[in-house]
Amino acid sequence: MQLLAHITAHLIIYSALVLSLSFAVSKVNIWSVGHLGFFGIGSVCAAALLATQPTLYTFPCTVLVAATAGALLSALLGFATLRLKQDFFVILSLAFSEVVLGVCISWKGPAGFNNLARPTVLGISLEDDWVFIGVVLLPFFIAAGAVFVRFSRMRIDRVCALIQANEELAMVLGVSPLYYKVGCFCLASATASVWGALATIYARSTDPNQISIESNLLLFSALLFGGLNSLRGSILGGLLLVVVPSLLEATLSYSPFGGNYAAEFRQLLMGCLLIVVVRWMPKGLVGATTLNHSRGGR
């Protein structure tokens, strides 16, 4: 049961991460390949607060601080770089994630924070994993999905579609593409930071390896596999990141190789799936938007 709870929690966390990345890519075509950098920011913020004595307000303060830090840093990064072409932003977003990784490692070493205490929520103890999933992770994921679906039905979504299709026409109509891009980027990044905090609270520790270049590329691959602008696609991406490696490791453990090559086989499988999806399913499995890497910019 504990293993099932572990897989369920990570499925929810990574599905939410894929959903936040899908929001940035599908709405305003921001290729935030270093998206896990903001996950790391939320993780570090949560660890720093949880390292102190937990109080009644520790949990809401942790979520608020993580969201604020992610939003402010993404706004600074967005206003400084989103005027550039997409190719330059991809490189800078990866560089930003590597800077966050370096800060995390230099602060507490490769092992990160450990033995953190879980705070209470409304007087409810979160020590049991299933209680944490039911009280925290699942409601937060439902809220994130509801915001995503609601945004897709608002007028601002049509404005974002116009910016994606033709930025020059949007400016002629009095729309500032930069402010819309930064706004969507801040929302996606703040969401990733919040889930970084929730993941740290659940694990009671931090893991700097979660924001490596390899992890960022795997997250983006999962997004392309499930499909852009789709809640179901995000859940499928989470399945690819969490369930498939677990099943692969369990299967390989009964082979002559043991589980020693599970990571290598996972990378090979992800690469093959990505080639198939990009070649024959440009919308992913259930995506609502075709992959569009615009090279425009000023």
Pick 138 or 241 by higher pLDDT. 138
pLDDT classification of 185: cutoffs 50, 70, 90: very high
CA distance linking residue 74 with residue 102, whole number of Å: 18
Q: What percent of the chain clears pLDDT 90, i.e. is strictly above it?
A: 28
Q: Count structural domains, the chain.
A: 1
- Asked whether residue 233 is assigned to any structural domain, the reply reads no
Residue 33: CB partners within 8 Å, gap ≥ 6?
90, 93, 94, 216, 217, 220
Q: Does residue 261 lie within any of the structural domains?
A: no
CB 31 within 8 A of CB 89: yes
Q: Tell me whether residue 145 is in a domain.
A: yes
pLDDT of residue 41: 94
* Owning domain of residue 124: 2-212
Among candidate residues 224, 208, 229, the one with its CA nearest the CA of residue 270: 224
**Is 289 contained in some domain?**
no
Average pLDDT of every residue of the chain: 83
Where is pLDDT greater, at 89 or 12? 12
User: Does the structure show a pLDDT above 60 at 295?
Assistant: no
Range 141-168 average pLDDT: 87
Does 231 map to a domain?
no
For residues 180-198, average pLDDT: 94
Give the pLDDT mean for 188-199.
95
Q: Is residue 128 part of a domain?
A: yes
CB within 8 Å of 225: residues ≥ 6 apart: 236, 237, 240, 273, 274, 277, 284, 285
pTM of the predicted structure, to 2 decimals: 0.87
Quickly state the pLDDT bin for 31 (edges 50, 70, 90). Answer: confident
Does residue 152 contact residue 229 with C-beta atoms inside 8 Å? yes
pLDDT at 111: 75
Q: Give the pLDDT score at 17.
A: 93
Band (115; pLDDT cuts 50, 70, 90): confident
Residue 38 has pLDDT above 90, yes or no: yes
Between the alpha carbon of residue 243 and those of residues 23, 55, 68, 126, the distances in Å are: 23, 35, 31, 24
Q: Is residue 163 part of a domain?
A: yes
**Tokens encoding 151:** 């945004």
Q: Is the pLDDT of residue 292 over 60?
A: no
Most confident of 41-45, 117-121, 249-253: 41-45
Q: What is the pLDDT of residues 215-240, one digit of tens each?
A: 888 888 888 888 887 888 888 888 87
pLDDT at 77 over 50: yes
Q: What pLDDT shows up at residue 130? A: 92
In a domain, 230, yes or no: no
pLDDT tens-place string over residues 247-288: 766 666 666 655 566 667 767 777 787 788 777 777 777 766
